[in-house]
Every structure is written in structure tokens, then in C-alpha cells.
Amino acid sequence: METTGIKELNKKVAEESLFVQDLKREIGKVIVGQDETLDRILAALVAGGHVLLEGVPGLAKTLTIKTLARCVAASFSRIQFTPDLLPADLTGTLILDPKTGEFKPRLGPVFANLVLADEVNRAPAKVQSALLEAMQERQVTIGPSTHALPDPFLVLATQNPIEQEGTYPLPEAQVDRFMMKIRLGYPTKTEEKSILERMSGAAAPAIKPVATPEHLKRAHLVAAGIYLDEKIKDYIVNLVFATREPEKHRLASHKHLIAFGASPRATIALAQAAKAHAFINGRGYVTPEDVKTIGPDVLRHRVLISYEAEAENIDSDKIIKAVFEAVDVP
């Protein structure tokens, strides 16, 4: 791509990404630390991809998503997933109108721009399948009719990795629909002290909406047009293929640890997420660093480990780290 074209892209991205800094500032009034997590969520917001947040209780997963929703002047729904939840509680149902004698659709809470699926792994398979259609097709079928979901539409789900009683493992097909799976860690001592000081006050910090659905739509279009060099495309493809054919990418020692490698959906998601990461950093082109930064969150739930890996206490993160170390950076 010509230098002039890159300059124009950089200028356009710089203009359209101004709201990202406003979002970070507002969210930072409530959320302490978690800068990397916030960057990933904002990248998903720009790319239009769903996010799965995983972490032990008390790490502000729900608060982060609710705060983000308050900073965007868009419709928001929180759905608390429980074992007795029904698909109709999510999507809506048909209600008899006594005046006309006809059944009319009553749309459920999934009809919102931002949907918080809290403790998503606590609902049974029928509910998961209902959410799956919404996530993939951006539509919901109620009775004989199909209803389009709002644009933009984003599912931000949370799950607790340590408590297994009363939970239902998410189907692999659904997990694959999440653009990113983000793992939250504990805050530092300094951050924890700030949390203590901030949250022990009498009044919660005041925040205001600083972005609209139109901002997100424009950002999505601009991010989709960000320049992706052929060498970066090859790098992304090589990373994905290294999870499928490790022996061909200097990872023969890891072959027995991988049951299934990443699918083509991972390739697409990695390219989209890298573009979105470049966008939120004000650049009109993708660098290898964008791919390396966002890559683990895109791939960790798409590389399925073998029984041998479980026996050796090796998770997908360790395998993905080895993949990034083995594949040559352009």
C-alpha cells in the first residue's frame, strides 16, 4: 500500500478512535487496573466480536461490563444464568392477545446492543443453543418468525473457572463463537489499595455516556479497512497452522499435547482483532505486535488440549506461548 494511503488511513483512524480514550477515562473512574482486559474488551467492541471473561469471584467481571454499558448510550441487558433458566427467558416468547385472539411476540432481554450473560456456564444446553443462534446469526426465532437483533449486538459473558457444582460446560461450537476468551488475574497490592479506598467511599463514582451505537458502527467500518500487509496475513495463517501441524513448525514435542488445532474461524478472528487493536491504538495498519498482543486471547479457547496435556498440567496458554515463540515474526 502506498505511503499516501497509509497516511490517510492513520488520519481517519485517529479521528474515529477519539471516543476510545473517552471510554477508557470514564471506565477508569470505577475500575482500577485491568488495563489489558479493558483494551481487549474495547477491541472486541470495535471488531463486533463476543467476549468471554473468565476469573474467580470478586475480580469485577460483572462491574467492568456494566460500567462499559453505562459509558455507551446503547441498550443494555443483564441476564443472570441459572440452572432453571428457559430459552424463552432469554429470547422471548409468543403471548396471546385476548383482544384479537392472535399470538404476538414478546421479545426477551437478548434484544439489546450489549448483553451481559452473567455466569453463562450455569444454564443448561437448551438455553446455550438459543444464545448460540443469537451470537452467530444475529437473529432470534420465536415461533414461526425470525427477528433481527439490534446493530451493534455484543454478548459479554462471564464464568467462574473454579466452581463446577451446578455448572454446564459450554459446547465447543458456542465457545468458538466468542472472538476472545479473556482471563482475569488478581490486582497488584497498589491496585488493591486503590480499590479499597475507592469502593469504601459513601458515593459511587459518577460516570456518563461518552459513546453511541453510531460511534461503534463507524469504528467497525473503519477498523475493517485497516491495512493488513501480506506478511502479516502469512504470519496469522502460520500461527493457526502451527496449532494444527505443530511438527511442521518446530513444535514436534507439542504434537501429543494438542487434540485439535484452531479452526479457520480463528484465522478470521485473529485478523479482525488485530485490526481492532491497531484501531484503538490510533494506527491505520497492523503490526506483528498487534497479533502477538491479542493472539493469546483469540486462540486460548480454540486450541483443545489432549489428555496427555491435562496429565502433565499443561493448559492451552502454555501451548500458545510455545507457538508464538516458534513461528517466525515478519
Confidence of residue 33 (pLDDT cuts 50, 70, 90): confident
pLDDT above 70 for 96: yes
Residues in Cβ contact with 229 at an 8 Å cutoff, skipping those fewer than 6 apart: 1, 285, 286, 330
Residue spans in the chain of domains classed CATH 3.40.50.300: 24-199+211-218
DSSP for 191-215, please give it.
HHHHHHHHHTSSSPPP----B-HHH
Strand partners, 258: 305
Provide the pLDDT for residue 164: 65
* pLDDT one-digit tens code per residue, 132-168: 888 888 988 888 888 899 988 999 888 887 666 667 7
List C-alpha distances in Å: 286 to 130, 280, 282, 330. 35, 11, 11, 12
Q: How large a percentage of the chain has pLDDT more than 70?
A: 96
DSSP, collapsed to helix, strand or coil, labels residue 132 as: helix
In CATH terms, the superfamily for domain 227-326 is: Magnesium chelatase subunit I, C-Terminal domain (1.10.8.80)
> Which CATH number applies to 24-199+211-218: 3.40.50.300, 2.60.200.20, 3.40.190.10, 3.40.50.720?
3.40.50.300
Q: Respond yes or no on whether the N-terminal peptide bond of residue 152 is cis (omega within 30° of 0).
A: yes
Q: What are the pLDDT digits (tens) for 54-70?
A: 887 777 788 888 888 88
Q: Residues 248, 10: contact at Cβ < 8 Å?
A: no
Tens of pLDDT along 177-187?
Answer: 899 999 888 88
What stretch(es) of the chain map to CATH 1.10.8.80?
Answer: 227-326
Q: How far apart are CA 182 and CA 64, in angstroms?
A: 13
Provide the pLDDT for residue 275: 95
pLDDT of 1 above 60:
no
Residue type (1 letter), 217: K
CA diameter of the chain: 71
Please give the Cα distance from 28 to 48 (Å, whole number): 22
